[in-house]
Each structure stands twice: as structure tokens, then as C-alpha cells.
Structure 1
Amino acid sequence: MRSMRVDWPVLMRAGLGQLGLRPAEFWALTPAELQMMLGGGERAQPMGRGGLAAMMVAFPDDVVGNGDDR
């Protein structure tokens, strides 16, 4: 599987600079919300099964020792 690479400096410049978001507002957005705010919502495609699987590998929910015992 291919790992997902995020160009954080570009996204942060767009969100904080171009859109004028505060840091807390930027970090509270989902990737889809940020994409829509930047004008890419019309072309956005739903995430496929492969994309979801790659995201689950890159960002697992079941992290041992994170202190969150819900």
C-alpha cells in the first residue's frame, strides 16, 4: 500500500493565510471541508476502499498506551 503524504506547509498557508482561519479552526476541519473551502469541492470524489485502507494503516485507531481507555 502507498502511504499518504500531506504537504502541511502548503495546506497551512492556504488555510491560515488564504482563508484567514485561526489555528484552532484549521485543525478542526476535515480534509473534505478544507478542500471544499479552497474551491475543490466540485471535483472531489468519495474515498474508495483502497484509500480508506491506506488511511487506516497510516493512522490506526487502536494505539496501545495512548491513555484513552474509552
Structure 2
Amino acid sequence: MSGLDWPALMQAGLRGLGLRPAEFWALTPAELRLMLGERLGAAAALGRARLDELLAAYPDARAPEGEGEQDE
């Protein structure tokens, strides 16, 4: 079994999107998911541990004296 709910996908594609059967079966599951509005390859939310790793790898550099300051 593929793990995909084919009856629901067929209903969404044929009824919801108005695809013809040949158009539906020509799509890959990823293409169908995209057409149904799912974002593909969305990155997971950045967790605190990963943020700490990035901060350690790319620490903020202190600007030389006088640079980056705005005159009022």
C-alpha cells in the first residue's frame, strides 16, 4: 500500500481542481499536492538549539568605533 488516500486525492483533483482523469494520472503526488495548495519543502521552524548553533558559528561582529552609529 502506498500510504496515499487515493479516493480523497482523486476527488480533490477531479472535482476540486476540475482535472480530467488523464491530467490527474499524469501528475506526480508532489505536483498534485502543490496544486492543492500545500507548500512543498517548507523548512521546519527554527528551534532554540539550532539558533544557538548558528549564533556560535556566525557570531555578531562588533563594528569598529564610529561605524554604524547614527548622528542625531
**Alignment TM-score, normalising by the size of structure 2:** 0.52
Structure 1 unaligned blocks of 5 or more: 47-70
**Aligned residue type for 1:6:** L
Structure number with higher relative contact order (C-alpha < 8 Å, ≥ 6 residues apart): 1
Give 2:62's aligned residue.
none
- 2: CA distance, partners of 1:28 / 1:4: 17
RMSD value, Cα: 1.8
Off by >4 Å, runs of 4+ in structure 1: none
Work out the number of aligned pairs and report it.
Answer: 42
Q: How does 1:2-41 map to 2 (within 5 A)?
A: 4-40=2-38
| Deviation, structure 1 residue 4 | 4.0
What residue is the counterpart of 1:45 in the other structure? Answer: 41
CA distance in 1, matches of 2:41, 2:2: 16
Larger radius of gyration: 2
**TM-score w.r.t. structure 1 length?**
0.54
Write the distance in 1 (CA, Å) between the matches of 2:41 and 2:21: 27
